[in-house]
């Protein structure tokens, strides 16, 4: 059984933190699903900051007011990834660097959980380092994650050999040892997706094209990697379930510079747009009664871009809208408790901004609200 936190952790930013934390300034955008919706319907936004992370939470379902920022200290945190399971628990994966008594730099992967909107985090637990000789292999890459339908957390990262490493929970809630899923020459930002049939799939850009790992059954071993002669640009791959047990992968095509969508067994479909600098934020939702995919990304000039098209009907056209907002890292997409699409980004000033779907046809966004400090 997974243990829930015994008491509150973290503190109000106004209770004696640094000046940067007091102003609610993020050091960039987290990776993964850093805009989440809890079981109570309220949205929460998470962002890394010096010495830990910041959290803002809607005060009522659908907003527009937010409480926060709430500061959660995590000494030595260098990268933050947020993933959410079907049970709405929010999982935090981090890469942590600390200096030991011998003066050497120690790097490990850490994990914590938030079980309910706005409440305490669990203790941060070290998942160790998959490298037996870290001094020779170098520090591990930043983690990515996926939570299976049964709540099992899977942590993936690029290993020192350039392949994919995995650590996951066992049925009793303990963690298994690191597993080597093989492969080589992969990018440091693989994309993992948890499917409704209980399986997980992973796709990574690689020197030879694209590599894909799949579970044959829920909780089973990962088959692969299987290589495909495709050209995803490193650092841009994202994944979304677009049909029962079926994943679609999105990336920037290294040759054309535009977005592409691909499913195993099909040819990639060009979506147009400009080159993305980070992975796409992905969301499946209903727009005007149609099953649609919404994408958002940061282009190479630092501007946020929003796009939409039919789910698994990409060839019918994809529509892109350049937004008058610059951002750090990748934006985030979600739906609020009233079913509206919500887009979040971290501005160049380190402050989070949020816009919601306006009433009416299509997908027009309201004005951008900057969350308070």
Does residue 246 surpass a pLDDT of 70? yes
10 Å CB burial of residue 67 (0-12, 13-18, 19+) is middle
* Mean pLDDT of the 231-241 span: 97
Render pLDDT for 296-312 as a digit per residue (tens, 0 to 9): 999 999 999 999 999 99
* Mean pLDDT of the 293-298 span: 98
Query: Given this model, what pLDDT does residue 215 score?
Result: 97
Does residue 62 surpass a pLDDT of 60? yes
Does residue 8 surpass a pLDDT of 60? no
* Mean pLDDT of the 335-356 span: 97
Q: Flag whether the pTM goes above 0.85.
A: yes
* Mean pLDDT of the 171-184 span: 94
Does residue 38 surpass a pLDDT of 50? yes
Q: Shortest CA distance to 164 belongs to which of 147, 139, 146, 189?
A: 189
What's the mean pLDDT when you consider all of the chain?
A: 92
Query: Given this model, what pLDDT does residue 288 score?
Result: 94
State the pairing for strand pair 43-49/52-58.
antiparallel
State the pairing for strand pair 164-168/153-158.
antiparallel
Domain boundaries, the chain: 1-128
Does residue 24 surpass a pLDDT of 80? no
């Amino acid at each position: 059984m997974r243990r829930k936190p015994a008491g509150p952790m973290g503190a109000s930013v106004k209770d004696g933190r640094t000046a940067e934390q007091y102003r609610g300034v993020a050091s960039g955008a987290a990776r993964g699903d850093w805009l989440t919706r809890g079981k109570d319907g309220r949205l929460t936004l998470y962002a890394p900051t010096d010495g830990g992370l910041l959290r803002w939470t809607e005060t009522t379902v659908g907003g527009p007011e937010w409480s926060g920022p709430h500061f959660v200290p995590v000494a030595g945190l260098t990268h933050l990834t947020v993933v959410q399971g079907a049970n709405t628990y929010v999982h935090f994966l981090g890469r942590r660097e600390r200096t030991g008594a011998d003066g050497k730099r120690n790097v490990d992967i850490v994990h914590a959980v938030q079980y309910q909107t706005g409440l305490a985090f669990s203790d941060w637990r070290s998942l160790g380092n998959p490298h037996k000789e870290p001094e020779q292999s170098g520090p591990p890459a930043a983690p990515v994650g996926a939570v299976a339908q049964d709540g099992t957390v899977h942590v993936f990262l690029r290993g020192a050999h350039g392949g994919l490493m995995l650590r996951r929970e066992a049925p009793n809630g303990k963690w298994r040892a690191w597993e080597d899923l093989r492969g080589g020459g992969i990018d440091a930002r693989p994309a993992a997706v948890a499917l409704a049939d209980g399986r997980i799939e992973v796709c990574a850009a690689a020197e030879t094209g694209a590599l894909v790992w799949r579970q044959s059954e829920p909780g089973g071993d990962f088959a692969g990697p299987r290589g495909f002669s495709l050209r995803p640009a490193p650092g841009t791959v994202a994944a979304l379930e677009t049909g029962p047990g079926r994943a679609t992968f999105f990336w920037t095509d290294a040759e054309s510079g535009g977005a592409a969508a691909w499913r195993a067994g099909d040819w990639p479909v060009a979506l147009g747009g400009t080159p993305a600098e980070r992975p796409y934020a992905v969301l499946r939702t209903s727009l005007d009664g149609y099953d649609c995919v919404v994408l958002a990304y940061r282009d190479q000039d630092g501007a946020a871009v929003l796009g939409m098209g039919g789910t698994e009907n990409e060839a019918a056209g994809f529509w892109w809208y350049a937004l008058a907002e610059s951002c750090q890292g990748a934006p985030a997409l979600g739906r609020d408790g009233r079913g509206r699409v919500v887009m979040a980004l971290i501005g160049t000033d380190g402050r989070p901004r949020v816009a919601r779907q306006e009433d009416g046809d299509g997908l027009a966004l309201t004005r951008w609200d900057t969350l308070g400090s």
